[in-house]
Amino acid sequence: MRLRFVEWAIAVSLGVSIAAVLTSCGARKPEHADWRYYGGNETNSRYSALDQIHRGNVASLGLAWTYDTGDAFKDSEMQCNPLVVDGVLYGLSPKMRVFALDASTGKELWSFDHYQGKFRPGKKRSRGLHYWQDGSSKRILIAVEEWLYALDAASGQPILSFGHQGRINLKEGLGRDFDTFTISVSSPGVIFKDKLMVGSIVSEGLPACPGDIRDYDVRSG
């Protein structure tokens, strides 16, 4: 498959920075297009038909802006596939902090930190998040360790009508008490209509939580 670059390229390093590059040749600005799904679209094809950047002008690209999450720590990684919706970039830092940036300038619009500045040491990862919209209701859905959050896409604040005060404990609903065991979600799962379907990571040895596939209502949790 012949790949094309999107209107502007977003480069995510294995460290803590995001960089954006723009073509400097004055090419025609294409119609706006989003990257609102993990993998680009519903089919996860990681493809965009935008053609402002191509083989003929790629050599003239220049740095437009950078954003440093400031979240570096030992063995840190940044595996998140950012989303871009209506000119806003949504991403996740190595310390699992969700952030929204103005995609044209790199300016931070909001930030949500599950740990509230008290990040616990240990290697953690998430490869992405979800954007969901129905009319004026716009949400970011993200799992941090055993917690599944629904955040307001405009403010980054938890939506209190979702689950219990904006979040769901993934250890619940498994038929037994797994309070002392670990469970997390590293890939964002799949949204179909108003449902979020997710798997989970559990311990590879016994005892462990079951690795159930579960389906949550995006509105209520």
Residue 41 pLDDT level (bands cut at 50, 70, 90): confident
- The answer on pLDDT for 62 being more than 80 is yes
Judging by beta carbons within 10 Å of its beta carbon (0-12, 13-18, 19+), is residue 61 exposed, middle or buried?
Answer: middle
- The pTM (predicted TM-score) of the whole model is 0.84
Q: 77 or 111: whose pLDDT is higher?
A: 111
Residue 26 pLDDT level (bands cut at 50, 70, 90): very low
Nearest Cα to Cα of residue 68 among 106, 38, 24, 41: 106
Kindly list the structural domains of the chain, giving each domain's residue range(s) and its CATH number in brackets, ordered by start.
Answer: 1-122 (2.40.10.480), 129-221 (no CATH)
pLDDT digits (tens, 9 = 90+) for 145-154: 889 999 999 9
Determine the Cα–Cα distance for residues 65 and 49; give it in Å rounded to an integer: 23
Residue 51 pLDDT level (bands cut at 50, 70, 90): confident
- The answer on pLDDT for 70 being more than 60 is yes
Residue 100 pLDDT level (bands cut at 50, 70, 90): very high
- pLDDT, residue 3, reads 30
Q: 167 or 76: whose pLDDT is higher?
A: 167
Torsion of CA 132, 90, 44, 198, to 10 degrees: -60
Residue 5 pLDDT level (bands cut at 50, 70, 90): very low
Q: Which two tokens stand for residue 20?
A: 């954006």
Q: 154 or 39: whose pLDDT is higher?
A: 154
Residue 72 pLDDT level (bands cut at 50, 70, 90): confident
Q: 18 or 194: whose pLDDT is higher?
A: 194
Q: What share of the chain is helix, strand, coil (3-state, %, to 5)?
A: 0, 35, 65
